[in-house]
Amino acid sequence: MNDVQRRIWLSLGANLGDRGETIREALRRIAALPETDLLQTAPFYETAPWGKTDQPGFINTAAEVRTGLAPLELLHRLQRIERELGRVRHEHWGARTIDIDMLAAEGTVCRTGELNLPHPYLTERAFVLIPLRDIAPQLIVQGRSIAAWCRRDEIAGQAVVPAPELDEPYPLKLIVAVDEARGMGRNGQLLMKLDEDMARFRAQTMGQTIIMGRRTMESLPGGRPLPGRINVVLSSGADVPQGFQVCRNEKQLWQLLGRLRRDEPGRGNWCIGGAQTCRTLWPYIGEIRLTRLPGEHGADCFLPDLQGFRLQQEERGRACTFQCWQRA
Ligand SMILES: Nc1ncnc2c1ncn2[C@@H]1O[C@H](COP(=O)(O)OP(=O)(O)OP(=O)(O)O)[C@@H](O)[C@H]1O
Ligand SMILES: Nc1nc2c(c(=O)[nH]1)N=C(CO)CN2
């Protein structure tokens, strides 16, 4: 244990495999480290390979943590995350599933070789500086602010563009009603239809994006999209009527949501079921709006247990209870 809490800035990069997802997973694992809070993450950027240029393009981002871990201990923890996520060291500056570098640590200068802080190449690399500027423009390194380092021509000339993928660790919210057995539905239909619950669902999701599986799509009134919302169906094979946008896999979903968010940054992404789609998207869900229905109703599909989420708010309705859970 160490009582000193320090802010430390990190750079993350990936150019093999599902780059965006690997970085999101790395951020989730960093957030779960002991004595460590993930304070900020930068948007994701698509960046041309630097140094060794004959390799695939990278996704890069930056993050700020506050940690009680000593810098070297944090380095070892980050290296373990790299290994767990399939990082195999091949060649210097070569392709990798994930690379996590420590850029700078508050009040710390360190030149041991095993750990050099501030990172020696920090000021030369646009793929590090541009994301870092989003979260720490005033941070001073080698006598200049990150914002000032970014203004130099060598940096402005390197290809770094916002990545058309979602960059939050938990980009989705979930809205569902469950009975006392955590049942969600039976024969592809809701267990109960309560006016107060319908009204809430409508108010929460109006003007936003709703994401559903095939069976949920088919259960909508008339099999038609819900009005006033962007209706997205995640299904590898289903025929999808007009008015729905279809994503055949998760990668297409992230690309679509990334495009939608660039057009309108504030729009929320709501998973609305069913159970299979919930399970697929569970690792990306940060908030759950849960309606608790009275009784048990012989459901044939269930919500996963809420381990890892914390109850934030609860409100009693006439016949049901409305809860808001957030990832702890
Ligand atoms: N600030 C730092 N962050 C991460 N690793 C560091 C740092 N300073 C020194 N190292 C050391 O660098 C070594 C090589 O790291 P890595 O394989 O990630 O290099 P690289 O990504 O190919 O090159 P670069 O370090 O230029 O990004 C690690 O064994 C680690 O001990
Ligand atoms: N664009 C980009 N280029 C790189 C990167 C990286 O993360 N992004 N990492 C490297 C290894 O340190 C070498 N080159």
Q: How far apart are CA 108 and CA 116, in angstroms?
A: 10
Q: For residue 248, give every residue at least 6 positions away whose Cβ sits within 8 Å of its Cβ, in sequence order, or none.
A: 235, 236, 237
Taking the centre of ligand 2 as the mean of its atom positions, its distance from the CA of residue 227, in whole angstroms, is 44
Closest C-alpha to ligand 2, atom 11: 93
The pair of structure tokens assigned to 38 is 């993930």
SS3 for 62?
A: strand
- Between CA 265 and CA 7 the distance in angstroms is 28
Q: Could you report the per-residue pLDDT of 60-113, keeping only the tens digit for each? A: 999 999 999 999 999 999 999 999 998 766 666 667 789 999 999 999 999 999
In the DSSP assignment, the letter for residue 227 is T
Q: What is the pTM of this model?
A: 0.69
Residue nearest ligand 2's atom 12 by CA: 93
Q: Which of 93, 103, 115 best tests ligand 1's pocket when mutated (most atoms within 8 Å of CB)?
A: 115
Q: Helix or strand or coil: residue 134?
A: helix
Which sequence positions are flagged as catalytic?
87, 96, 99, 101
Ligand 1 touching residue 83 (CB < 6 A) = no
Ligand 1: centre distance to CA 10 (Å):
12
172-327 has which CATH code?
Answer: 3.40.430.10
Structure confidence by residue, pLDDT tens digits, 124-170: 999 999 999 999 999 999 999 999 999 999 898 888 888 866 777 78
- Least reliable range by pLDDT among 20-24, 162-166, 261-265: 162-166
Distance CA 8, CA 63 (A): 8
| CATH architecture of structural domain 6-162 | 2-Layer Sandwich (3.30)
Asked whether residue 1 carries a pLDDT value surpassing 50, the answer given is no
ipTM computed for the complex = 0.93
Structural domain boundaries of the chain?
Answer: 6-162, 172-327
CA 43 to chain centre: 10
CA distance 18 to 26: 12
Between CA 278 and CA 174 the distance in angstroms is 8
Residue 114 corresponds to which tokens in the numbers above?
């095993």
- Three-state SS annotation for 266-322: CCCEEECCCHHHHHHHHHHEEEEEEEECCCCCCCCEECCCCCCEEEEEEEECCCCEE
Spatial neighbors of 160 by CB under 8 A, at least 6 apart, are: 45, 46, 47, 48, 60, 126, 127, 130
pLDDT over 80 (residue 302)? yes
Distance from the CA of 101 to the center of ligand 1, in angstroms?
6
Measured by CA distance, the residue closest to atom 2 of ligand 2 is 49
Residue nearest to atom 10 of ligand 1 (CA): 115
Give yes or no for residue 44 CB within 6 A of ligand 2: no
Atom of ligand 2 nearest to the CA of 57: 1
CA distance 189 to 191: 6
C-alpha 199 – ligand 2 centre gap (Å): 49
Helix axes of 19-31 and 250-263: crossing angle, nearest 10 degrees: 80
